[in-house]
Structure 1
Amino acid sequence: MRRDLASSRAVGFAGSALIAVGGLGAGALPIGVPMFTGGRHARLGLVCVYSGLLLLLLAWWWYGRVARRSEDDNGWWHTLALWVAPLLLAPPMFSRDVYSYLAQGLMIDSGMDVYRHGPALLGGEIADQVPAIWQHTPSPYGPVFLIVAKMVAGPHLMLGIVAMRLVALGGLVLLAIAVRMLARSAGVSPSAAIWLAVLNPLVLIHLIGGAHNDALMVGLLAAGLAAAVRRHPIVATLLVVAAALVKVPAALGLIAVAAIWATHLAGRWPWLRAAGAVCATAVAATVVITQVAGTGYGWISALSTPISSQNWSLTGLLGRWTSGMLGTAAAADVWRWFGMLAVVIVAAVVWTYRARLGPVYGLGIVLVAVVVFGPAIRPWYVVWGLAPIAAAAVHHRVRRLLAGFCAALVLVVLPDGFGADAERVLLAVIGGLIGVAAFLAVHLAVSYTPQRLAWTRR
């Protein structure tokens, strides 16, 4: 048992290290920084990254199987530290969003309105790292995140990237602590919840490797839900508001907080009283935080910023296909409305079965629906709903399906965050096969060595 645990951790660490090393050639590298090799070793880097991804995925599967039989309930902390450490030192991976975060932080520090202007107005080395498609678009993020971005952004690009990664790491640790609390309250194994919501390679490579602000959002949201189940509704509301003022979808968590609060209230109309108290607290907190941040309410009108004409959302794909057939761009808007309707239908079904599902599980389902049917999708958005479902879903089939879905999403984004061509797909496949072969060699060696030793003693 201990040998298997140690071996799975070591394989995961090797995979994470390969991802980090491969990122030096194939990651979302900063432009004009001599220490990064970039194009000279991009092909080798891509093979290295995909070898590491397959090793990390298979190590995650192996660790999950062994940890279920282990009595070491806190061993996942060591696993998390090992698997995260190499990614903290890697260049930005799988997305260039961290450059946008830093540019927006500098814009705030310079007195610019990030809700009216894009990074192009800032100019300079950090703004130059932002992809052209986002150079002139305003920020879609709330004042809580902009306060954080202002605090960590500075003239030194590499220090800013490290600081943003540390913010993401803080969000991940907060998520881990909260998920354990939520799992215990729902009768779910805390180790199983941590395995799915925190050690998940999708979470690690995008929230830490990509330094995404979703880590802070989901960490605060999960902490708010944990405070709610521990009967601290005001604290819960404030934490969920903070999460929503990082990224707006977290505001759906306020409904879950109100539902949990209502179950603890005596007397008449408990749901109405709880909902009213949550709404009043949330509005007051939003006003105070926005006033302190000094950014205004422009984030409300900028919520459409993540939508691009080439977004790989379900409604976006259907919209482009229908527009091509009918010769009208209006079809794309129609499909967006259908997507919103689908989310409403899912939310209505969840509400109907709320007693059976519970507030936390129901919230996870609705957040996944927002991702699947929404106008903008990135693989790491799945983490929004992943955490509540991991902490509250008691059915093993649901957990296995979600784990498989996450595993597939790990492989769909190239390490530089850009699109693939035939050559890059071939290199990725070669790298993946190397990773699978290496894992099988280690797994077979660990599995059969004790038997060989026993046979020798005979």
Structure 2
Amino acid sequence: MGFPVDLRRCQALGLAGTAFLALGGETAGALPAHEFLAPGSVQAVLGLVGVYFGVVLLIAAWVLLGGVVRGPEPPTPRSLLLVLAVWAAPLLLAPPLFSRDVYSYLAQGAMVDARIDVYAYGPAQLGGPLADEVAPVWQQTATPYGPVFLVVASVLSALTRGQLPAGLLGMRLIALLGVALMAAALPRLARHSGADPAAALWLGALNPLVLLHLVAGAHNDAIMLGLLGVGLVAARGRWPVLGVVLITLAALVKAPAALGLVAVVALRSRGRGPRAVLRHTVTTTTAAATTTVAATAAAGTGYGWIAALKTPVSPHNWSPTSLLGRVTGAALDQLGSGLAPFALPAWHAAGLLVTAVLLLFIWLRLRPGPVYALGLSLAAVAVFGPAVRPWYALWGLFLIAAAAPTGSVRTRVAAASAVLALTVLPSGAPADVEQVILAVSGGVLALVVLWQAHQAARPQSPVRERTA
């Protein structure tokens, strides 16, 4: 017999994982500047080891839970939602983890509240303690986010009066709302797509990437995906116009969600002729344009968000196109070529071209179900775009979880999720050799503990009496 696995044991193991994450984050997370500890201090070392100990426990709990979901008596979606709530609970009051983006959100909200053009200036224009928390690379960078998110951030800034602890908690609650909308949409989208609702929740909502980056990291991708998910549910049901409005609002948080409008047209005109496609395209476009104009006017931030879509990415970004651009540029520079400065833009343009070709192939030739096609499309945008972050994988993963046609697809996506969950330090800073060693040590320690628990749970073989 192997390790005894049931829903309660998985819940307890995952809770232990997120509890260690929260505790380790107190000294190794993306802390405010006045709480920052030197990476070599004892507290920071223990925190980093503790965080990765927790990450591995969480991944193990999630993998074991996947076995329960695929077992003869799978848990109900309601019981899985309870597991999600239990796992997320310790992270609610933890410091930000794996990224400092939440400080940028707060600074941008304060800028809107102070009537500073966030599409023309970076947080440095705001000044003060809040702007000082923003990572140096983004101090002079205009925001790439849409007016809907900026309104949310501005309201939060006004409510918290620039107080950092209250602002961080508020941003995490907003992210939790987004995750709740994702979890509500997943079973409904899965049933519509002929998939297992429990399996969809396991892969799309209980995924470690959701807990690490949408909850612990408080990324605004959560509210984008939540609005996108409920918008698709509404669009496939009796409220197609409401669905378009919600998906447009999602795109006015982060632009990739605009691809959801293509899925709406496909959902409404599926199995019908070209006239139906044209009619639903006109209806969807009209509703989306009206929503965009109304939301932008209500936000009062103007249309600078369109030009801000070209906001530069981090020079250390490890997307395939950025990596190839840096390598090509370095090689051309060594050769003394004057083309070196053009290498990165050229590779970014190539990435956009590849993405466009893939989108056409998915929608016009491959023609899977609309929800699955949208998931594949968002995955292509994430992979071949100019910037890649581990949480960007959730753009496509969320909808692939809801509509994947085979278990093998889910298995591959789950394996990729587990790997990505280990790739970012809790401080959100670039890793050095010492920090990597400490992180690996924490993960290995967790594996040792899990192995010991496995061995202790195995029944002992009976000892044969020796005969004379």
Equivalent in the alignment of 2:70: 68
Amino acid in structure 2 at the alignment position of 1:341: L
Equivalent AA in structure 1 for residue 446 of structure 2: G
> How far apart in 1 are the matches of 2:64 and 2:252?
37
TM-superposed CA distance for 1:3, in Å, is 6.1
The one-letter amino acid of 1:165's match is R
In the alignment, structure 2 segments of 5+ residues that lack a partner are 334-339, 463-468
Retained in 2: the 8 A contact 1:115–1:299? yes
Inter-CA distance 277–452: structure 2 relative to 1 (3 Å threshold): farther
Structure 1 gap ranges (5+): 454-458
Map 1:36-435 onto structure 2 (within 5 A). Answer: 39=39, 40=41, 41-69=43-71, 70-73=73-76, 74-153=78-157, 154-263=161-270, 269-305=275-311, 307-327=313-333, 328-353=340-365, 355=367, 357-435=368-446
Percent identical among aligned pairs is: 50
Query: C-alpha deviations, 1:65-116, integer Å up to 9, x for none?
Result: 0132234302112210111011111100000000000001111111111111
Cα distance, 1:232 vs. partner? 2.0
> Aligned equivalents of 1:416 and 1:273: distance in 2?
50
What amino acid does structure 2 have at the position aligned with 1:254?
Answer: L
How far apart are 1:364 and its partner, in Å? Answer: 0.6
Q: Distance in 1 between matches of 2:431 and 2:210?
A: 22
Change (3 A) 1:264 1:110: farther
Give distance in 1, aligned partners of 2:74 and 2:415: 25
For 1:173, give the aligned amino acid: A
Calculate the TM-score normalised by the size of structure 2: 0.92
The count of corresponding residues between Structure 1 and Structure 2 is 448
Name which of structure 1's ranges 81-90 and 38-47 shifts more when overlaid on structure 2.
38-47
Task: Report the Cα distance in structure 2 between the residues aligned to 1:220 and 1:339, rounded to whole angstroms.
Answer: 27
Change (3 A) 1:444 1:82: farther
Q: Distance in 2 between matches of 1:164 and 1:44?
A: 27
* Equivalent-residue separation in structure 1 for 2:319 and 2:37 (angstroms): 33
C-alpha distance in structure 2 between counterparts of 1:179 and 1:50, whole Å: 29
1:17 paired residue among 4, 19, 23: 19
For 1:174, the aligned partner's letter is: L
Structure 1's 3 and 294: CA in aligned 2 closer, same or farther, altered over 3 A? same
Deviation for aligned residue 1:152: 1.3
CA deviation after TM superposition for structure 1 residue 8, in Å: 1.2
Deviations 1:256-306 (A, max 9, x none): 0011111386x7611111011100110011000100110101011111225
Name the aligned partner's letter for residue 276 of structure 1: V
Q: CA deviation at 1:443?
A: 3.7
Give me the whole-angstrom Cα distance separating, in 2, the residues matched to 1:196 and 1:158: 31
With over 3 angstroms needed to count, the CA separation of the structure-2 counterparts of 1:306 and 1:452, relative to structure 1, is: farther
Q: Is the 8 A contact 2:227 2:250 kept in 1?
A: yes
| SS of residue in 2 equivalent to 1:103 | helix
Structure 1 residue 234, shift from structure 2 partner: 0.3
Cα deviations by residue, 1:133-185 (Å, 9 ceiling, x for unpaired): 11111111101101110111232101100000000000000001101100011
Look up the SS of the partner of 2:33 in the other structure.
coil
Query: 1:371-404 deviations in whole A, cap 9, x for unaligned?
Result: 1110011110111111111101121111111111
1:246 is matched by which residue type in structure 2? V
Alignment partners' CA distance in 1, 2:7 and 2:452: 16
Distance in 1 separating the partners of 2:38 and 2:149: 30
Aligned partner letter, 2:353: L
SS state at 2:219 partner? coil
**Contact (CA 8 Å) 1:13, 1:82: kept in 2 or not?**
yes
Q: CA deviation at 1:4?
A: 2.1
Deviation, 1:241, is 0.3
Q: Distance in 2 between matches of 1:452 and 1:256?
A: 57
Query: Where does structure 1 differ by over 6 angstroms across 4 or more consecutive aligned residues?
Result: none
When residues 423 and 242 of structure 1 are mapped into structure 2, their CA distance, relative to the original with a 3 A threshold, is same
- Scaled by the length of structure 1, the TM-score of the pair is 0.94
Q: Which moved more, 1:250-259 or 1:324-333?
A: 324-333
Q: How far has the Cα of 1:334 moved from its partner?
A: 1.2
Once residues 14 and 316 of structure 2 are traced to their aligned partners in structure 1, the CA distance between those partners, rounded to angstroms, is 34
Once residues 444 and 246 of structure 1 are traced to their aligned partners in structure 2, the CA distance between those partners, rounded to angstroms, is 48
SS in 2 for 1:139: coil
Aligned CA-pair RMSD: 1.9
Contact kept, 8 Å, 1:24 with 1:37, in 2: the verdict is: no
Partner in structure 2 of residue 456 of structure 1: none
Q: Judging changes above 3 Å, is the alpha-carbon distance between structure 1 residues 147 and 414 closer, same or farther for their aligned structure 2 residues?
A: same
In structure 1, the residue matched to 2:337 is none
